[in-house]
Amino acid sequence: MDWLECVPNVSEGRRLDAVARLVAAAVSAPGVRLLDVSSDPDHNRSVLTLAGDAEALHRSLLALYGAALAEIDLTRHQGVHPRVGAVDVVPFVPLGDTPMAAAVAAAERLAREVAERFALPVYLYEQAARRPERRLLADIRRGGFEGLAARIAEPAWSPDFGPARVHPGAGATVIGARFFLIAFNAVLDTPDVAVARAVARRVRESGGGLPAVRALGVYLASRDRAQVSMNLVDFRRTPLLAALDRVRSEAEALGARVVETEVIGLVPEEAAFGVVRDALQLPGFGAGRVLEGALLR
């Protein structure tokens, strides 16, 4: 059986009662495992980590879309994280020996039914993208819900499925297939968001920084701190510790320092072992060198 991870991002991170109802909808389908829920009030976003076979995840996600359309109104939504939809992005990730083709097929099937059932415009991205200019999520999401509403009628931005108009309350949705992504944030000791934005520009790949790193600087009102919010889209190219070291050095050059980091969602085991290998200069470290891992073998 092909196992998949799915990491739907929903545009609600403040009303925890609403988040609980969204989670309940997602786990209502038999055969789906809920591995993690991360909510943030400043980003006003929640990230669910689900796992199961393609059929179970399909049922789960349709239930999640139905609940999100009832709970979320993007015209009233505010948060520092870019978004185009109530269910903003839904990536499928192959686990174990599952081929990427299985994740692409799951994405295409879900996209077609979400468009038909909910009258939502759907864009396919990353490995499922049908146009090269839609491969990157940031390109689709540029300008947010409001920006997409202004350009969706243009032929170049006609959705892959569904109507060429945004849903009045739920916007659009982006569905795809990809490798593991690590959402890794660094909180600075300053409230100056200009510092975080400058660090993000120097760290991200598009600015000549680290490969496979996307970053933006945001202000966290709940903490009165600035944050460098990163997506490590391939930890094999830029490991966690390398990203942190670069953020630290760029922040220090601007008179700031990192006081805390956070991971949103889950981290692959290999990425975590990579931190230990890098920090301890211990190239052979892995699961075989962990006591609990040896006991479970």
Mean pLDDT of all residues in 21-37: 97
Percent of the chain at pLDDT > 90 equals 94
pLDDT given at position 294 = 82
CATH class given for the domain over 4-177:
alpha beta
Confidence at 257, pLDDT banded by 50, 70, 90: very high
Instruction: Give backbone dihedrals phi and psi of 158, rounded to 5 degrees, phi first.
Output: -60, 135
pLDDT given at position 287 = 84
Positions annotated as catalytic residues are: 81
pLDDT over 80 (residue 201): yes
What number of other Cβ atoms are within 10 A of residue 150's Cβ? 11
**Strand ranges, E, within the chain:** 4-6, 9-10, 33-40, 45-52, 87-94, 122-126, 173-177, 182-188, 213-220, 225-232, 258-264
**Is 178:127 a contact under the CB 8 Å cutoff?**
yes
Buried b (16+ CB within 10 A) or exposed e, 221-260: eeeebbbbbbbbbebeebbbebbbebbbebbeebebebee
pLDDT given at position 289 = 86
pLDDT given at position 292 = 84
pLDDT over 90 (residue 261): yes
pLDDT given at position 286 = 86
pLDDT given at position 297 = 74
pLDDT given at position 106 = 98
Confidence at 199, pLDDT banded by 50, 70, 90: very high
Q: What is the helix, strand, coil percentage profile of the chain, to 5?
A: 40, 25, 35
CATH 3.30.990.10 maps onto the chain at 4-177
Mean pLDDT of all residues in 2-24: 97
Is it true that domain 182-266 has CATH number 3.40.50.720? no
Q: What value does the mean pLDDT of the chain take?
A: 96
pLDDT given at position 295 = 84
pLDDT over 90 (residue 111): yes
Rounded to whole angstroms, how far apart are CA atoms 127 and 113?
19
State pLDDT tens for residues 38-74: 999 999 999 999 999 999 999 999 999 999 999 999 9
Whole-model pTM: value is 0.94
Judge residue 1's burial from the number of C-beta atoms within 10 Å of its C-beta, 0-12 exposed, 13-18 middle, 19 or more buried: exposed
pLDDT over 80 (residue 2): yes
pLDDT given at position 293 = 79
Mean pLDDT of all residues in 153-163: 95
pLDDT over 80 (residue 1): no
pLDDT given at position 284 = 87
CATH 3.30.70.670 maps onto the chain at 182-266
